[in-house]
Amino acid sequence: MQILVQKYNFFTISLPISQFKCIFAHIFLTKTIFCMKKFTFITLLACTVLACSTEIEDTIVFDNATADKEVKLSNDEGSPVCAVHLQIATASEENGHKGEVVNRIIQKRLLNMEELTMQQAVDSFANTYTSFYLRKLLPLYNQDRADTAKRTWYEYHYVITSEARQGSKSTMAFIATTDYYEGGAHSVNQCTTMNFDVQTGRLIGLNDIFVPGYENLLNAVLQKALCEKVGVADISNLRQKGYLVGIQMFPSENFILEDETITFIYNPSEIAPHALGETELVIPLSNLEQILRKENKS
């Protein structure tokens, strides 16, 4: 792309614009002195051209891709239904290439789809899910149709809601909640988080935050934080409360990185029985100074 700056018809200056964050070009054109009856007219023309790259550099802007679909399992009055509601925060086109990177990752993690726009993906997911429901559940429902007590077994739903917000000064946090019921004693509720580099759209993992060999110290800090949250002294007391039964402490893949803290989110049944719900552990980064990579230290 080029910008052409012309002063009347005397000459033309061509300014190339590509591969730059911002270009400030100050072009000082002619200084012409005209004398006319003892008056001096001095004309000074200063032209400033500001050109910025089309990608937004210090943040990621998000829109929403949504899909809502509901199907009845039969034509009967009071028939069970399958309801799908998807609201997925989506990096908008103005983010350029990094937005495409972000959307590919979100689409794969949440919908297990690739090579589609986000709107195409949510529409496809809703259609596929409801079609599967009708195909697989209708024969079973026909066998149970007379037993009204079993009708709730066939009431399916799949709901995803999400948001994107600034995490640390260099990252954007994406947080999605998925709730679905496909029969059984209760619905399944899960949180999925992702942290993106605001400059590139790259997914940030724990290996990008901590130095190699970070696991032992991080696990110890997390276990101490869990003990404090539950109000017990050690892991044996935690296990009496239902936490970490048969497993050791580990860092969740779901975390939110901020300037001063990192929050680890454990879904129901990950480190505790389902009835105890989700567990959040907020850890000050100052407690992890020993294992932080240099670029992540304040």
3-state secondary structure the chain: CEEEEEECCCEEEEEECCCCCEEEEEEEEEEEEEEECCEEEEEEEEEEEEEECCCCCCCCCEEEEEEEEEEECCCCCCCCEEEEEEEEEEECHHHCHHHHHHHHHHHHHHHCCCCCCHHHHHHHHHHHHHHHHHHHHHHHHHHHCCCHHHHHHHCEEEEEEEEEEECCCCEEEEEEEEEEECCCCCCEEEEEEEEEECCCCCECCHHHHECCCCHHHHHHHHHHHHHHHHCCCCHHHHHHCCCCCCCCCCCCCCEEECCCEEEEEECCCCCCCHHHCCEEEEEEHHHHHHHECHHHCC
Q: Considering only residues 19 and 190, tell me which one the structure prediction assigns the higher pLDDT.
A: 190
Length of the chain: 298
Confidence of residue 182 (pLDDT cuts 50, 70, 90): very high
Q: Which pLDDT belongs to residue 78?
A: 86
Nearest-5° Cα angle at 279, 201 to 289: 60
Side-chain half-sphere of 27: how many Cα atoms within 13 Å?
A: 17
Q: Which pLDDT belongs to residue 148?
A: 85
Distance from C-alpha of 131 to C-alpha of 256, rounded to nearest angstrom: 35
pLDDT at 207 over 50: yes
Range scoring the smallest mean pLDDT among 91-95, 112-116, 182-186, 235-239 = 182-186
Q: Who's near 212: CB < 8 A, 6+ residues apart? A: none
* pLDDT over 70, % of the chain: 81
Distance from C-alpha of 103 to C-alpha of 120, rounded to nearest angstrom: 12
Tens digits of residue pLDDT in 124-143:
999 999 999 999 999 999 99
Q: Which pLDDT belongs to residue 55?
A: 52
Q: Who's near 214: CB < 8 A, 6+ residues apart? A: 206, 291
Average pLDDT over residues 191-206: 97
Q: Which pLDDT belongs to residue 199?
A: 95
Confidence of residue 184 (pLDDT cuts 50, 70, 90): confident
The mean of the pLDDT values for the chain is 84
Q: Which pLDDT belongs to residue 96?
A: 95
Average pLDDT over residues 253-262: 97
Phi/psi zone of residue 222: left (φ > 0), alpha (ψ -120 to 50 degrees), beta?
alpha
* pLDDT over 90, % of the chain: 73
Q: Considering only residues 235 and 23, tell me which one the structure prediction assigns the higher pLDDT.
A: 235
Average pLDDT over residues 63-91: 96
Q: At CB < 8 A and 24+ separation, what contacts does 64-69 make?
A: 64/88, 64/89, 64/90, 65/90, 65/117, 65/118, 65/119, 65/121, 65/122, 66/122, 67/122, 67/123, 67/125, 67/126, 68/126, 69/126, 69/127, 69/130
pTM summary value: 0.79
Q: Is the dihedral of CA 262, 265, 252, 122 positive or negative?
A: negative
Average pLDDT over residues 186-213: 96
